[in-house]
Amino acid sequence: MRRIMPHVIHRALAALILAVAFSAPTAGQQRPALTADDYARAERFLTATVTPLVVGGSVTPNWLPDERFWYRNAIEGGAEFIVVDPARKTRARAFNHEKIAAAVGSITGAKLDPLNLAIQRLLPSADGTSVTFSLGGRLFKCDVEGVTCGTSDESIPPAAEVADAPAGGRGGRGGGRGGASGRMSSDGKPLNMSPDGKRGVFIRDWNLWVHDVATRQERQLTTDGVKYFGYATDNAGWTSSDRAIALWSPDSKKVATQQQDERDVGEMYFVNTVPGHPVLRVSKYPLPGDKAMAMLHRVIVDADTGRIVRLQMEPDFHRGTLSDNISVRDYSWSPDGSKLALASVSRDHKQVWLRVADTATGAVRTVMEEKVATHYESRAAWQVLWPKNELIWYSERNDWGNLYLYDLATGALKRPITTGEGPVTQIERVDEKTRMLWFGANGREKGRDPYFTSFYRVSLDVTAGRPVAVTPEDGTHAIAVSPSGRYLVDTVSKPDAPPVVTLRDADGNLVMALERANISKLTATGWKPPTPIKMKAADGKTDLYGLMFTPSKMDPGARYPIVNQVYPGPQTGSTGSRAFTAARGDRQALAELGFIVVTIDGRGTPGRSKSFMDAYYGAMGRDNTIPDQVAGMKDLARQFPFIDIDRVGIWGHSGGGFATTSAMFRFPDFFKVGIAESGNHDQRNYEDDWGERYQGLLVKNADGSDSYEVEANQNFAKDLKGKLMLAHGTMDTNVPPSQTLLVVEALIKANKDFDLIMLPNQAHGYGAMSQYMMRRRWDYFVKWLLGTEPPREYRMK
């Protein structure tokens, strides 16, 4: 036997003692309890605290006829109005804020803050010597130095409306549905405004009404709408809204909409919690496999006469090309209002048709169709180029989302507009005169995070060359193109790099710098950005990407438990946008309590190839991206020694709650602690569109089972080993609370211990009780994963 020297033993023993001293305790070991001060410090990393510490870095240009533009710029203490002249490469305040505030104040008798002027509309003069603006409901015209200033009778076009949203922004689930304008009917219904701004339509008693803005008179347009067979409604499944889902014709005379038939659709019931008799809420809620579904009868309604033209076609299923609800972006009017293009989607989402209707007669012609093996979903809205009778169509037929140009008259493919790897994610703008199209796409620049969005310009003509990259910097971009296409405002950022805004020419060359976000106050708090991470998927080949959040003050040599915040998709992923943001939920706050928090976009989520997104199509419970989450975290533990892969937690909300429970049941030896909030655990009890899109149509087997049964979480409850907390709002009309109760029943039958929080009267997002749920989530991980006691009943500030 080989003899070990004493000094070697001493060195080894000392190293062992040092390692233990600097290691976070493993499960079961005692460590100091966390205090209220610890929680208070973590709270300082939540959105409400850190977001105000980021100043500037956002430009929404308001273009003027001569290609100058102005924007509202956030600065310390408020905001300033900036005018940019691209030709002269100048950037300056639109006016003297202090003197204008004093001049207007002397007229109105109000004391105005120069950096907080509530200007609604602004129009700088062509020679730059004066400005006209709307403030407090009155119109003023002043020279830029505020020497002469008075009320004005001039009009300012609606295009001069002040906008504060970041350029290139896009809505999420439900975007583009139409209806919200800020204006209301006499009984508080939102108006869907006409292009000329003179009137708006709204829903009352299942019928369509029109409201005249000038006279405030209201007139009923349709009379045959009845309960659950109403006009312009969109209340099937998870969504519930009183907005009128309709698209006005360009001349503001007609609207395209639908009469939605839900009369035979199954119902979902919700009962509120109150002293005395509860109130029953009934929602039409079709489920996978149901015979009766919400059906759309497409119609054109004349806003002057109320005449209804019913399109001569079979009713459509409540489906859309862009998301799991209907959208006005699946309608397109011709400029003269004589034709309407619309998209129809099959119940299983495997087939989509583009049709053109004659709005006078209702005659319908099918232009083209697309069939897919799994499901069709567009990431960039289709568009009709009416002057040339052409159609821009999105397809993943070559495994990547690309754009194609069709002849609208014949339905023949003219040519691909874009080709190659890296999916198109949006059409930013089409200039029909110059035949130029600007589009955003992910992953087309090699060596970068494949989720970063870059922008390109491409010609629609056959003789076009390769797309021109107009946003060269590494990062994820948003752009706003000038009316002529000669300039664009480019905002670029990364999760770990704040926004920088520049002005570029048509080829992407830098014209001038505009803004840079100031995060000095943010970093002074000890905040640090998340770390971009890259891992291997369960197949050992595919690269996965995400973000890692670590304590701002890490103990060198310590090992920390890891918590995975999961959202499996398929319509989105765990990480979300790659643009900079000071907070991403409570991920950093949770890390401050002593955890490594990660988000990993596994296979089955969008933003990359079609095959990547379809990785677990038809196997939503068996896969649900969890194998990739496991493989990714193991890979991270090899890369970062401070990760304790023997102490793994997971949590998620909605689809993330579904995935969390799947993880705890199907990988019980890996995941030790899980928190599942509002999970859709069995797609047979969730709205039809989700399951039938991503799982396929429900098929009943000869033995009485069906194609959804093997995916349902409650069937695997007996395999639970770790600590599991389930939570749900009792008035959740998106994911009914019975979803969680199915799992609860199975756990009880299996004699398993678990924790349950039912949040009375709360909807899907928990509303006022969300902070309570956050605190309970922190407590649960602190107690069972960190191995110590949380502060008792800490109240979130």
Quote the pLDDT of residue 176: 43
Q: Assess contact for 323 and 173: CB atoms under 8 A.
A: yes
Query: Quick one: pLDDT band at residue 463, thresholds 50, 70, 90?
Result: low
Quote the pLDDT of residue 154: 72
Q: Which residues pair with 269 in a beta bridge?
A: 282
Q: What letter represents residue 371's amino acid?
A: K
pTM for this prediction = 0.91
Rounded mean pLDDT, 372-398? 96
In this predicted structure, the answer to whether residue 182 has a pLDDT above a threshold of 90 is no
Is the model more confident about 126 or about 241?
126
Quote the pLDDT of residue 323: 76
In this predicted structure, the answer to whether residue 5 has a pLDDT above a threshold of 50 is no
Rounded to 10 deg, the angle between the 626-639 and 655-666 helix axes is 70
Rounded to 10 deg, the angle between the 36-43 and 770-781 helix axes is 120
Tokens in use for 317?
């299923």
In this predicted structure, the answer to whether residue 666 has a pLDDT above a threshold of 50 is yes
- H helices of 561-681, in order, are 587-592, 610-613, 626-639, 655-666
Quote the pLDDT of residue 4: 36
Which CATH code, of 1.10.580.10, 3.10.450.50, 2.120.10.70, 2.140.10.30, is assigned to 172-328? 2.140.10.30
Query: Quick one: pLDDT band at residue 13, thresholds 50, 70, 90?
Result: very low
Query: Quick one: pLDDT band at residue 18, thresholds 50, 70, 90?
Result: very low
Collect all residues with Cβ–Cβ distance below 8 Å to 726 and sequence separation of at least 6: 657, 661, 676, 679, 740, 743, 744, 754, 755, 756, 757
- H helices of 531-625, in order, are 587-592, 610-613
Pairing of β 723-729 and β 755-759? parallel
SS3 313: coil
Residue 668: phi and psi, rounded to 5, are -70, -20
In this predicted structure, the answer to whether residue 55 has a pLDDT above a threshold of 50 is yes
Distance CA 491, CA 325 (A): 30
Beta strand residue intervals within 101-151, DSSP E: 119-124, 130-135, 138-143, 149-151
Distance CA 362, CA 364 (A): 6
Tokens in use for 576?
């979300």
Provide the 8-state DSSP code for 51.
G
SS3 307: coil
Sheet holding 207-212, edge to edge: 192-193, 199-204, 207-212, 218-220
Distance CA 151, CA 452 (A): 48
Distance CA 133, CA 123 (A): 6
Q: Which whole-number Å values give the CA distances from 484 to 89, 285, 624, in the listed order?
A: 17, 47, 46
3-state secondary structure 363-429: CEEEEEEEECCCCCCCCCCCEEEHHHCEEEEEECCCCCCEEEEEECCCCCEEEECCCCCCCEEEEEE
Q: What angle do CA 536, 537, 540 make, to 5 degrees?
A: 70
Indicate the helix (H) or strand (E) that contains 99.
helix 97-108
3-state secondary structure 686-743: CCHHHHHHHCCCCCECCCCCECCHHHCHHHHHHHCCCEEEEEEECCCCCCCCHHHHHH
Of the candidates 533, 532, 517, 522, the one whose C-alpha atom is nearest the C-alpha of residue 582 is 522
Collect all residues with Cβ–Cβ distance below 8 Å to 188 and sequence separation of at least 6: none
Tokens in use for 50?
């850190």
Residue 370: phi and psi, rounded to 5, are -135, 135
Rounded mean pLDDT, 438-461? 96
CA atoms within 13 A on the CB side of 28: 2
Quote the pLDDT of residue 180: 53
Rounded mean pLDDT, 316-338? 91
Of the candidates 188, 191, 190, the one whose C-alpha atom is nearest the C-alpha of residue 200 is 191
In this predicted structure, the answer to whether residue 177 has a pLDDT above a threshold of 70 is no
* Coarse DSSP helix, strand, coil percentages of the chain, rounded to the nearest 5 percent: 20, 30, 50
Of the candidates 576, 499, 587, the one whose C-alpha atom is nearest the C-alpha of residue 46 is 587
In this predicted structure, the answer to whether residue 475 has a pLDDT above a threshold of 60 is yes
Of the candidates 658, 677, 496, the one whose C-alpha atom is nearest the C-alpha of residue 575 is 496
Question: Domains of the chain: which residue ranges?
Answer: 6-26+530-786, 62-160, 172-328
Q: Which whole-number Å values give the CA distances from 97 to 100, 103, 163, 392, in the listed order?
A: 5, 10, 19, 45
SS3 269: strand
**CATH number attached to the domain at 6-26+530-786:** 3.40.50.1820
User: Peptide bond preceding 570: is omega within 30 degrees of 0, i.e. cis?
Assistant: yes
Quote the pLDDT of residue 707: 95
Q: Assess contact for 652 and 576: CB atoms under 8 A.
A: no
In this predicted structure, the answer to whether residue 710 has a pLDDT above a threshold of 90 is yes
In this predicted structure, the answer to whether residue 29 has a pLDDT above a threshold of 80 is no
* 539 burial type by CB count under 10 A (0-12 exposed, 13-18 middle, 19+ buried): exposed
SS3 104: helix
Query: Quick one: pLDDT band at residue 2, thresholds 50, 70, 90?
Result: very low
Residues in the chain: 797
Provide the 8-state DSSP code for 786.
I
Mean pLDDT of the chain: 91
Collect all residues with Cβ–Cβ distance below 8 Å to 622 and sequence separation of at least 6: 616, 666, 710, 711
Encode pLDDT of 589-642 as tens digits.
999 999 999 999 999 999 999 999 999 999 999 999 999 999 999 999 999 999
